Amino acid sequence: MLLTETADKIKGMEIRGAGRIARAAVEALKGHALSFEGGDLQKFREWMEDAAELLVQTRPTAVSLPNAVHYVMIGLKGAGSVGEAQAEMVRRVERFVRDSINAVDRIGEIGARHISDGDVILTHCNSEAALACILKAGQVGKDIEVFATEVRPQNQGLLTIRTLNDAGIKTNFIVDSAVRHFINSIDLVIVGADAVAVNGAVVNKIGTAQIALAAHEARTNFIVAAETYKFAPRTILGELIRIEERDASEVLNPEVSKGLPHVRVRNPVFDVTPAAFIDLIITERGAIPPSLAYLIICEYLGWGIEEFHKAFQIDDKNQE
């Protein structure tokens, strides 16, 4: 697929889900790198940097996207020729895709251990990682039942109920606003993540924070399934994760909006669930309490404060 085609599909949400977006973006980088013709290493660098920028700008919230692109772009460093840089980038793309798929499987195995026989689970949106936990629990013979939300305005809940139905898992489909009504029948909430901040706060599909609040009040466990590349390194320096707001037409027919000049339709796509409402984050490296998000960023993603200072040329003077 051409770079621009992938970028358009990510932007238009034809390709969606934080993990899938990351894998599609690096595959697009690979195709783009291999289609480079004639030119020196400097030209190749610029060609790849423009491509990386285009991809990263498609959706601003899912940190998996810049993390994956960053991982592949490191392949440019230290290369002595275009051929060397291409080979290293291809190697990194293939490794990222393989590791990402393995990470989801591993999360499924770890997450399933936190699901007990007889549990009623609530999930929101359509997360590969969250579904991996639920599906694995079903595969190992646990008798489970799921409540899946509709997920206005894009209705990703339909994807979720299809997957659960295909796996033969007993599923209840509810509108988003029915969560509070059913929360006392739920044993465990499992959702995915688009980004995890250093303080353990989780950015996920709009509505997640409300569900977490209801679960917190009802003392229902709330688990997040997130690969390590969804942890946001820049939050170490206090940078906030940008919440994408999409077009109003996704929420209300423009013909209806036209007749309501005093009404502004708002369409934020994600919200932030505070760490205090989260019991556990399941990563492919193991389950952690949200307070250990810093460890993942430093130890597994390799970003410590020193790396930031180097990368953004921060010194003590300009930090004042």
Which residues in this chain contact ligand RI2 in the complex, by CB under 6 A? 16-19, 125, 127-129, 156, 191-194, 204-205, 269
In the bound complex, what is the minimum distance in angstroms from residue 269's beta carbon to ligand RI2? 6
Give just the sign of the alpha carbon dihedral 68, 71, 76, 80.
negative
Q: Any catalytic annotation for residue 187?
A: no
**SS3 state at 91:** helix
Amino acid making up residue 210: Q
Q: Any catalytic annotation for residue 133?
A: no
Catalytic residue among 133, 194, 271, 315: 194
d(CA 107, CA 128): 10
Q: How many CB atoms lie within 10 A of CB 41?
A: 15
Cβ 62 vs Cβ 194: under 8 Å: yes
For ligand RI2, the closer CB: 75 or 157: 157
Q: How many CB atoms lie within 10 A of CB 155?
A: 13
In the bound complex, what is the minimum distance in angstroms from residue 257's beta carbon to ligand RI2? 22
221-225 vs 202-205, strand pairing mode: unpaired
In the bound complex, what is the minimum distance in angstroms from residue 83's beta carbon to ligand RI2? 33
Cβ 114 vs Cβ 280: under 8 Å: yes
In the bound complex, what is the minimum distance in angstroms from residue 23's beta carbon to ligand RI2? 9
Q: Do you find a cis peptide bond into 66, omega within 30 degrees of 0?
A: no
d(CA 261, CA 254): 11
Catalytic residue among 117, 125, 247, 315: 125
In the bound complex, what is the minimum distance in angstroms from residue 17's beta carbon to ligand RI2? 3
For 3, the token pair is 């770079």
Cβ 45 vs Cβ 175: under 8 Å: no
Query: Which residue numbers are catalytic?
Result: 125, 194
